[in-house]
Structure 1
Amino acid sequence: MKKRVLIAMLSVVGFLTITSCSRKITRVATDEQIDISGRWNDTDARLSAEALSSQIVMGDWINEYKVTTGKKPAVIVGLVRNKSHEHIDAELFTIEVEKALVKYQKAKVVQGGEMRNELRAERADQQTNSSVSTMKKFGLETGADFMLQGTINSVVDALKKQKVVYYQVDLVLTNIQTNEKVWFGDKKIKKFIKN
C-alpha cells in the first residue's frame, strides 16, 4: 500500500514538474507588435529603421550633390553611439538605412569598419595567392563622400509602479570633405509602462 501511494505521489509530482516547466512557443508575424518588458525591442528597431530610411532617401542632400557633381553620392556608416540606459544594437536599423539607399538607387554605400578590414585582408591575400588576371588591386576603393553617424538616447521617468521611457534616435550625415552636416534624421518613441 505504501509503495502504491509513493508511486502515485511521484507520478503526480513528475506530471506537475513536466507541465509547469513546459513552454508554448508560437510563431508570429515579424511585424507584429509584441511588447513584453517595455524595454527597446524589435518593434522599436523596425519603426526606427522605417522612419530613418524614408527620411534619408527623401532628403534634399542627394539631389544637391548630384546637381553639383553629376554623380551619385557614396555613403559610409560610421558609429551610432548608444547613450541610452539599455543595451541597443544600432546595427539593426543602420543596415536598413543602407538597404534603402541601395534599393532606391539614391546613393552608393561603401563598406566600413571590421567588414572593410576583412575585404582588405582578402585583397592582400589575393596579391600572393591569386592569378594576375583575377587578383583585385589595391588603391581602387570608392571613397565615401558622406558619413552617417548618430546617437541613441533615452530618458526614464518612474514613480512607484509606473514608468515612462522616451527614446530618441538621431542620425546625421556629414560631408567628409567639408565637415558640413547636410542631413539630420530622428525617430522618437515613448512608452508608458505600468506594473
Structure 2
Amino acid sequence: MKRSFAAAPVCMVILVLLAACSSNPKVSRVDADTRTDLSGYWNNTDVTIVCDSLIASFLKSPRVAEFIARKGELPIILVGSFRNESDEHIDTAIITTIMEQAIFDSGKALPVAGGVSRGELRTERAEQQSYASEDTAAALANELGADFLLTGTVRTIVDQAGKTTTRTYYVSAELSDIESTARLWMGQNNEIKKVIVRPSTKL
C-alpha cells in the first residue's frame, strides 16, 4: 500500500506533462504558393487572385495604351489607399504593396512613393539641406509628379441561413487623372466567393 501511495504523485506529474504536450499546436511548413482556407475569411490566396486580376486588366486597358503612345513615355502612377468597407478586418496595405510591385514589374508604368514612404523621403531630403554637403544633398522641388492615382475599395456581401454562410468579396479599383480627375480605367473583381458550413455543436 505504501508503494502505491508513493507512486501516485509521480503518475500525476507524468499525466500533467503528457497533457501539456498534447495541447501544443501542430505546425507544418508549406510552400508559399499553397492555397489554404481555414476560417472562410479573407486570406493571402484571395489577395493574390484579386491583385493579379486587377493589374492584368489595368495593363491591358486601351486607354492606358493610348496615353502611353500619346505621351511617348511611361505613365507615372501613385498607388493610393484601398478602403476596407467590408464586415471584417482586412489589411489593405498588403493590397497596395502588391499593386505597386506588379506595376513596377510590368515595366509599363512607373510607380512613385506615397504615404509613409514619401513622408520619410521628404524628411530625409529636408534634413540633407542642413546636414549633408552641398554637392551631395538632394535637390528640393525635384520630385516626379504623378500622372495618375490608383485607389480602390474592398466590400463584402454576406448571406446566411442556419449554419451555412456565403461570403462574396467585391474589390474595385480606379485609375484617375490627377490633373483632370477623369477616370482612365476602372476594374472590379468578384471572383472570391466562399460557402462556409459550420459544424453542429455537440452538447
Identify the TM-score tier after normalising by the shorter chain. Answer: over 0.9
User: Structure 1 residue 14 and structure 2 residue 11: aligned?
Assistant: no
Give the root-mean-square deviation of aligned CA atoms. 1.2
How much has 1:58 moved relative to structure 2?
Answer: 1.6
Counterpart in 1 of 2:178? 176
Runs of 4+ in structure 1 over 4 Å off: none
- Give 1:65 deviation, angstroms: 1.0
The answer to whether the 8 Å contact 1:62/1:106 transfers is no
The question of 1:130 aligning with 2:132 is answered: yes
Counterpart amino acid of residue 185 in structure 2: W
Identity %: 35
Please report the TM-score for the alignment, with normalisation by the length of structure 1: 0.94
Q: Does the residue aligned with 1:23 lie in a helix, a strand or coil?
A: coil
Unaligned runs of 5+ in 1: none
Alignment-mate amino acid for residue 120 of structure 2: E
How big is the shift at 1:108? 1.2
Give the Cα–Cα distance (whole angstroms) in 2 for the partners of residues 46 and 3 of structure 1. 60
The equivalent residue for 1:90 is 92
Shift of 1:128: 0.8
Note if contact 2:79-2:99 (Cα within 8 Å) is conserved in structure 1.
no
SS at match of 1:124: helix
Question: Which deviates more, 165-174 or 4-13?
Answer: 4-13
Question: What is the rounded CA distance, in whole Å, between the counterparts of 1:131 and 1:99 in structure 2?
Answer: 33
2:105 paired with 1:112: no
What does residue 140 of structure 1 align with? 142
Superposition deviation, residue 92 in structure 1:
1.8
Determine the C-alpha separation between the residues in 2 that align with 1:23 and 1:66.
53
Greater Cα shift, 70-79 or 171-180: 70-79
Q: Does 1:68 align with 2:70?
A: yes
Contact 2:84 2:153 (C-alpha < 8 Å) held by counterparts: yes
Bigger mean CA offset, 176-185 vs 61-70: 61-70
8 Å CA contact 1:163, 1:192 repeated in 2: yes
Match of 2:8 in 1: 5
Matches of 1:147 and 1:16 in 2, distance apart? 56
| Consecutive unaligned residues in structure 2, runs of 5 or more | 199-203
Please give the alpha-carbon distance, in whole angstroms, between the structure 2 residues aligned to 1:53 and 1:113.
20
- C-alpha offsets along residues 121-169 of structure 1, whole Å, 9 cap, x if unaligned? 0000100111111110111000011000111000111111100001010
Amino acid at match of 1:45: V
Find 1:164's aligned residue among 163, 166, 172. Answer: 166
Question: Aligned residues, how many?
Answer: 194
